[in-house]
Structure 1
Amino acid sequence: MVSSGGDTRRRALAVCLVAAFMTGLDVSIVNVALPSIRDGLHASEDGLQWTLSGYALTFGLLLVPAGRLGDSRSRRTVFLWGVALFTLSSLACGLAWNMHVLIVARLVQGMAAGMLNPQVSGLIQQMFQGYERGRAFGALGATIGVSTAAGPLIGGALVSVFGPDFGWRWVFLVNLPIGMVLLPLAWRLLPRPQLVHRRPESMDPVGVLLLGIGVAGLLLPFIQRHQWESAAKWLLVPAALVVLVGFVVWERLYRREPLVNLALFRKRSYSLGSVIALFYFAGFTGIFFIFTLYLQSGRGYSALAAGLAITPFALGSASAALLGGHLVSRLGRRLVAIGLSMVIVGLLATMEATALVPGQAVGLATALPLLLAGMGSGLVIAPNQAITLSEVPPEGGGSAAGVLQTGQRLGTAIGIAAVGSVFFGGLGEGWPTAFRHGLAVVVTSVAIALAAALYDLIRTHHDTKTHPDPGREGLQPGGDP
């Protein structure tokens, strides 16, 4: 028998997962529509780049402040405003009559996504405990994996069905019915404001400003690496690091409740989990970027065919993420290490497949290796998030999730820049060789994440031998160093 309270929490979780799917989809769905947008709105390369990078920029900037706002006031309220803003900005994107309107709408859409995502993690922290929390994060991981990997497939299908003139508009307009259904369901099912821990403390405006400037300074050179040709852009990176050091100093000295609880980083589960997320996302999202380019530009695949070719990764990720949610409380960080190893093996096999079958059948040849890599990915994202947030108090779940996801956004931007640079630099040797060079960068980044996971396992084994604790949960393999 499942209690009515359990039923309500499951329905509330479903609402959160649909919102996560919607925002995750818009990270990758636009890629295959770029040629249609260029023709339909006579867009420049700069305009197309901002259509992608503008969303990523504002997404990353809002994560931590929005997470803190939800923790301090009401996650439900911030969630509702985020859904409403995302739906309206999607409408504006779909109806855009020129590139300026589209870019502004995408910036707002990214802000709405940044408002929504930390609330999802915070609400899971709030509504579930222990084993159930692991399963909920498993469902979230499956959702993230499917939305990111299925974006090119769904986008390609929409462009094919509605044609190049209107298909790109439906890439954005598809969010309207989702948002319109989400709003009343979220209003009815999500925990009411009075159930959320409320704090009268300041929102730390100086901390918000310093973190925003630092994150923007780090992101901009990478997301504008091709359009901003001057090498002076890289001066923003050390300047941003100086600002972020100032942010850390401010947070330590701030007398009231700081924007980010730096004590979290003294917990090995949180600090190493954040490192794993940073490096894994630096590699993970680069796969879709170079694979769709390789298939469409190098092998003449249509947008729909390229989307279908990446589907095995999405299927593997979704299925394994659900399994990972069940196993994480028992296996802990070992599960993440297994997943990272599977990703590396799958990507190495993908590289070998492109060497053996360099022609039109490459999409079929890479299906099984990508399925294996996708299954590994499903055992990484959700379990790592569950472990990383396992020692975070529920009342601070949104802020902690916001910091974790900001690291993921930074990793994504830096990783795509690094993978893309190597990929484009190798085009002189042919598309298959360039693709393998790009994948080598992805594998290196994932290997660093694996090293961090193995370090955590070694430390945990040492701590267990030194201070045996038979009651220790697998979901908390790190603890205080």
Structure 2
Amino acid sequence: MDDRSRWRALYVASILSGVLLVGISDANVALPAIARSLHVGPTSLQLISAGYVVAFGLTLVPFGRLGDQGRRHQLIRVGLLLYIASSLACGLAADLRTLIAGRVLLGVAAGILMPQTIGVIQQLFGGADRGRAFGAYGVMTAVATASGPGIGGLLMTVGGADQGWRWIFLMNVPVGVALFAAGARHLPRTQPVMTTITRSFDPIGAVLLGVTVLLVLFPLVLTTGLPGDSAARWSALVPAAVFAVLFLRWERRYLGRGLLPLLDGELLRTRSYRNALLVAASWLAAGPGVGLVMMLYLQLALGLSPFLAALVLLPSSAASAFGARWAARRVLRWGRVITLTGLFTSAAGILVSVLAVNLLAQRPAIAVVTVAQILNGLGSGMVISPNHVLLLSDVPAEKGSLAASIGHLTQRIGNSLGIAATSAAFYAVVYGHAGELTNAGRSTYDSALVAGVVAAGLFFALAVWATVTDLVRTRLYRTPSEPIDRTTKAGART
């Protein structure tokens, strides 16, 4: 492919990833409307949300491996067809079972597609071009992560209070059709042929890993902080640990037979990759967790509609795009310095928001929070975009889809853990003081917001630690005048 064709393929892959990431958060805005329309309770709503997340997590790694084996183009076509069909099923669902089944299939489609998008970029770009390509990809993912709730709120408003939730799913249909046509025209139809050892699929490993992921995610997605949460859900972590041990033992045995296991030890021994996994997982636990409790606070404490609450947080999306683009152009020289700056910039925006709602009256508080979201989004873009570049900087092109799928799997687990922790802290304070969710005083909601932000702060601290660790490591491997460009030596620093 010529240079122009490569960049067109990059834009198609980046937009596709952005659409999948928006799908994680935009539907959450619609859950109250779904409850009214289908007459379902909190447990059913959790199944609607959890079905997508769990299916997404279960399919990422196996289909990442299949993508690396020469099936990337076919998987993109199959994944988009499933995405269109399942979105249509969700939008037209007349009952709870149909909606849950549609959400599960939508999660499977996302799990098929997501690792292929990064695999395409790994295949088409190398050297410094790969860094710029992943910088552009990071801009799209940063914007998508920040704008999901706003897009959901807008579609809810256009479609109406009771049926607007259907618009969120039905809008995926024309988007999916457009992406299918663009993918057929611009994405590469072939990829380098892998060796025989790389083509081994490891089906038993896929099953063991899938069961482990399912058992880990199960208690997390069912944690809401509501009084009805059962402590018994945490018992799933015991068999999860058992299956994790079985999976690791099987992987060693599989490797001993001269075959390539599902969990690539070379990838996990690559320090840049390992540290970037931790940064991504911990930040996607902290950032979206704060966004969730802030969205709840704006509606419950300040009386804003879902759409107006989304508008207050909307400046974060625009600032995130700017921050991601700015950081992408400088990450190869400054590396983790940009990530660390972004973390503390975002933290400053969050701190200003919390202080404003606790110290100011309603209108000035809303104004300050809206402005503070610029800092929050700017920092978030500076974290997400560089991390995409650094995550895969030392990963060989032939392992791009697998490396990306492991990355997204850790992000989904981190995100689920962060949402569970922050929402549980928020709800626990509200129910502990008021006994119900909607009629508490503002001071109670103030305390609940602080509790949620403190819970997210634990993950923020982990992201800072991982960033500093990687920063110290990279400083040890270069002279003061040498740019931080690790994209030319795949796997060199392990």
TM-score class normalised by the smaller sequence: over 0.9
**2:475 aligned with 1:461, yes or no?**
yes
**Map of 1:103 onto structure 2:** 100
Tell me, yes or no, if the aligned pair for 1:33 and 1:155 is still in contact at 8 Å: yes
The Cα of 1:164 is off from its aligned counterpart by 2.1
Offset from partner CA, 1:216-275 (integer Å, 9 cap, x none): 110000101248743222121132123223222222221211112112122110111111
Task: Please give the secondary structure, in 2, of the residue aligned with 1:29.
Answer: helix
RMSD of equivalent CA atoms: 2.2
Give the counterpart of 1:164 among 143, 161, 164: 161
The answer to whether structure 1 residue 19 and structure 2 residue 31 are counterparts is no
Aligned to 2:88: 91
**What is the percent sequence identity of the aligned residues?**
38
Go from structure 1 to structure 2 and tell me whether the alpha carbon gap of 1:168 and 1:471 turns closer, same or farther (over 3 Å shift): closer
- Confirm or deny that 1:414 pairs with 2:417: yes
What is the aligned partner in structure 1 of residue 208 from structure 2?
210
**2:247 counterpart of 1:247:** yes
Q: TM-score, normalised by structure 2?
A: 0.91
Residue-by-residue CA offset, 1:344-368 (whole Å, 9 max, x unaligned): 2222222222222252443321123
Could you say if the C-alpha distance between residues 67 and 358 of structure 1 is closer, same or farther in structure 2, counting changes exceeding 3 Å? Answer: farther
Give the residue type in structure 1 aligned to 2:109.
A
What CA distance in whole angstroms lies between the structure 1 residues aligned with 2:46 and 2:484? 48
Q: 1:166, CA displacement in angstroms?
A: 2.6
Post-superposition shift, 1:195?
4.4
Q: Distance in 1 between matches of 2:483 and 2:25?
A: 42
The partner residue of 1:275 within 269, 278, 287 is 278
For 1:107-118, what aligned pairs fall within 5 Å after superposition? Answer: 107-118=104-115
Deviation digits for residues 295-344 of structure 1, max 9, x if unmatched?
Answer: 12222111210110111111111111112211111112222122112122
Contact 2:155–2:168 (Cα < 8 Å) also in 1: yes
How many Å separate the matches in 2 of 1:252 and 1:470? 38
The 1:392–1:474 alpha-carbon spacing in structure 2 relative to 1, beyond 3 Å, is: closer
Is the 2:135–2:388 Cα contact (8 Å) retained in structure 1? no
The answer on whether the counterparts of 1:279 and 1:448 sit within 8 Å (CA) in structure 2 is yes
Matched-pair contact (CA < 8 Å) for 1:26–1:151: yes
Partner of residue 225 from structure 1, selected from 219, 223, 226: 223
Q: Following TM superposition, by how much is the alpha carbon of 1:476 offset from its aligned partner in structure 2, in angstroms?
A: 8.3
Q: Deviations over 1:134-173 (max 9, x none)?
A: 2222222222222232222222222222212331111100
Match of 1:446 in 2: 460
- Greater CA deviation, 226-235 or 30-39? 226-235
The 10-residue stretch of structure 1 (290-299 or 209-218) with the greater mean CA deviation from structure 2 = 290-299
Match of 1:371 in 2: 374
1:449 maps to a residue whose letter is: A
The answer to whether the Cα contact below 8 Å between 1:30 and 1:171 also exists between their aligned partners in 2 is: yes
Q: Could you tell me how far apart the structure 1 residues matched to 2:117 and 2:64 are?
A: 9
- Whether 1:137 and 2:148 are equivalent positions in the alignment is no
Preserved contact between residue 334 and residue 483 of structure 2 (Cα < 8 Å): no
What pairs up with 1:275-294 in 2 under 5 angstroms?
Answer: 275-294=278-297
Equivalent residue number for residue 313 of structure 1: 316
TM-fit CA distance, 1:32 = 2.0
| Matched letter for residue 223 of structure 2 | R
Aligned AA (1:207): G
Residues 46-102 of structure 1: per-residue CA shift (max 9 Å, x gap): 121111111111111111111111001321111111111111100000000001100
1:161, 1:363 → 2: CA distance? 23
* Corresponding position of 2:349: 346
Determine the C-alpha separation between the residues in 1 that align with 2:358 and 2:484.
47
Name the CA distance, whole Å, in 2 between partners of 1:66 and 1:366.
41
Distance change (3 Å), C-alpha of 1:147 and 1:198:
farther
In structure 2, relative to structure 1, the CA distance for the partners of 1:166 and 1:251 (3 Å cut) is: same
For 1:88 and 1:175, the matched residues in 2 are separated by 10
Q: Alpha carbons of 1:416 and 1:472: their partners in 2 closer, same or farther (altered >3 Å)?
A: closer
Asked if 2 retains the 8 angstrom alpha-carbon contact of 1:282 and 1:442, the reply is yes
Q: Determine the structure 2 residue equivalent to 1:335.
A: 338
Q: What CA distance in whole angstroms lies between the structure 1 residues aligned with 2:298 and 2:182?
A: 40
TM normalised by structure 1 equals 0.94
CA distance in 1, matches of 2:132, 2:315: 23
Query: Contact 2:394–2:493 at 8 Å: present in 1 too?
Result: no
Match of residue 493 from structure 2: 480
Q: Aligned pairs, how many? A: 476
Partner residue in 2 for 1:57: 54
Corresponding residue SS for 2:362: coil
Give me the whole-angstrom Cα distance separating, in 2, the residues matched to 1:469 and 1:305: 49
Are the equivalent residues in 1 in contact too, given 2:335–2:484 (CA < 8 A)?
A: no
The answer to whether the 8 Å contact 1:71/1:399 transfers is: yes
| CA–CA separation in structure 2 for the residues paired with 1:95 and 1:45 | 21
Letter paired with 1:296: Q
Partner of 2:144: 147
Could you tell me which runs of 5 or more consecutive residues in structure 1 were left unpaired when the two chains were aligned.
Answer: none
Q: Contact 2:14 / 2:117 at 8 angstroms: preserved in 1?
A: yes
Could you tell me which amino acid in structure 2 is paired with residue 222 of structure 1?
A: L
Gap regions ≥5 residues in structure 2: 434-442
Letter in 1 for 2:165: W
* 2:451 equivalent among 428, 437, 442: 437
CA distance in structure 1 between the partners assigned to 2:115 and 2:369 by the alignment: 34
Find the partner of 1:325 among 308, 312, 328: 328
Q: Which residue of 1 aligns with 2:439?
A: none
Shift of 1:454: 0.8
Counterpart contact for 1:19–1:83, Cα < 8 Å: no
Determine helix, strand or coil for the equivalent of 2:260. Answer: coil
